[in-house]
Amino acid sequence: MAHDHDQRHESHAAHDHAHMDFAKMLPYLEQEAELSSPLYASVADWLREWQPEPEMIVDAGSGPGVVSCLLAGTFPQARVVAVDAVEPLLDRARERAERLGVADRFSTLRTELDDGLDDLEYPADLLWASRSLHHVGDQRAALAGFARALAPGGAVALLEGGLPARYFPRDIGIGRPGLQSRIDAIQEAGFATMRAELPGAVAETEDWPALMNAVGLCHTATRTFLLDLPAPLTDDARTFVVSSLTHRREVLGERLDADDLATVDRLLDPEDKASVHHRPDAFLLMAHTVYVGVKPQ
């Protein structure tokens, strides 16, 4: 899987995942994960409560390895394995690990998460899965595979859900107010279709604590983390908002009505003073929820 975790997932990029080319999305995935690094650093510090000194960390659905390498930096005694099904993303993860000086304790494993993690050489003390589980048809079975991959006392940290990202006020002065809410509704419909069309799809209530308990983990904690970048945005954050909206335009364009499509096009036009490129009111607000489940000793 390729969520580096655009909410990979923004995830959130638009939720028509069945047609996503994750290798093509590599620059966007890196951009989002790097911008969100303060959020992920806060998550990593919080995870010390359950795993203060993990020796083996697995990033299940690592994407280009931004978070994998952040975990390697947070836990300097740990070996980190980045797991993904897309080789160009794993290539980039290895390049990042080399550049950041953690390659001596960093490795990759190419596999689909629904094939299990049986090829791991050692059990994990900490298994991080950010917006990757929802790409697997049978999420309960995959979560059971995560549990099997843990050492006794090991922890799964599952990032799923949260809230859709917000970039603008409700009324932005062009088009009908509430543009992002209407885009969210289209994405939710696309997400449901994507889930239904996955190989071996199983309908599952997204009660992550209950699913953790059902596969033999002890749900221990849940916490939501914010990335709150208020207006006016930095150049990097503004560039990301442009990239995110551009991606939505490409995926959702034919499903937007004519008025909303025209508004999105204006928001992306660098020559338009009402565009993201110039707006003083653009911001970035994301909320990511993390669930922790511990394997009994």
- Strand-pairing partners, residue 166, are 285
pLDDT of residue 116: 76
Coil vs helix vs strand at 106: strand
pLDDT of residue 4: 40
pLDDT of residue 141: 96
How buried is 105 (Cβ within 10 angstroms: 0-12 exposed, 13-18 middle, 19+ buried)? middle
- Whole-angstrom Cα distance, residue 159 to residue 175? 34
Mean pLDDT by 10 residues, the chain (297 residues): 39 39 84 97 97 98 97 98 96 98 98 89 97 96 97 98 96 98 95 95 97 98 98 97 95 92 98 98 98 97
Whole-prediction pTM value? 0.91
3-class DSSP state of 81: strand
Q: Tokens representing 29?
A: 């995935």
CA-CA distance, 277 to 274, in Å (whole number)?
Answer: 8
For residue 9, what pLDDT is reported? 38
Identify the pLDDT of residue 114: 87
Separation of alpha carbons 66 and 100, rounded Å = 11
The answer to whether the peptide bond before residue 38 is cis (omega within 30 degrees of 0) is: no
